[in-house]
Amino acid sequence: MAELAPLGIKVTVVEPGSFCTDFLAHGDQRRPGSPVDAYAATVGALQGLIDANDGLQPGDPAKAVAAIRALAEADDPPLRLPLGSDSLALFEQKATALRETADAERSRASATDYASA
């Protein structure tokens, strides 16, 4: 964050993708004894996705630790650090969406400025 730089404090938002750990293991999750039908399309779908991808995450936790350790020692760390190819893909999608919105809304956004003298 720019406001912390004068204090010598460096900040990086680490945004990890999916890493292959036991975090998503079915036995480690608390689930209701009987699913609530009203949440089947949201929570149920997410739980299905988690179950289907457990053990298939592309990220290597040891490599993530090494990247974060190197980041902590960096002279000029980035504000944001995507970790993992899946995180990078989401960054790229977000960047594209932001660019498309900026292009589409340029005239509307500029129309709210004070008139030039």
Residue 32 in any domain: the answer is no
Residue 43 in any domain: the answer is no
What DSSP string runs through 67-96? HHHHHHT-SS--SEEEESHHHHHHHHHHHH
Segment (H or E) for 38: none
Q: Dump pLDDT digits (tens) for 65-86.
A: 999 999 999 999 999 999 999 9
Taking alpha carbons only, the member of 28, 91, 29, 17 closest to residue 61 is 17
Residue 26 in any domain: the answer is no
Predicted confidence (pLDDT) at residue 50 exceeds the cutoff of 80: no
The pLDDT value recorded for residue 12 is 96
Residue 88 in any domain: the answer is yes
Nearest-angstrom CA–CA distance, 37 and 100: 37
Categorise residue 107: left if φ over 0, alpha if ψ from -120 to 50, beta otherwise: alpha
The pLDDT value recorded for residue 33 is 73
Report if pTM > 0.75.
no
The domain total for the chain is 1
Residue 115 in any domain: the answer is no
Domain that holds residue 106: 2-21+57-110
Residue 74 in any domain: the answer is yes
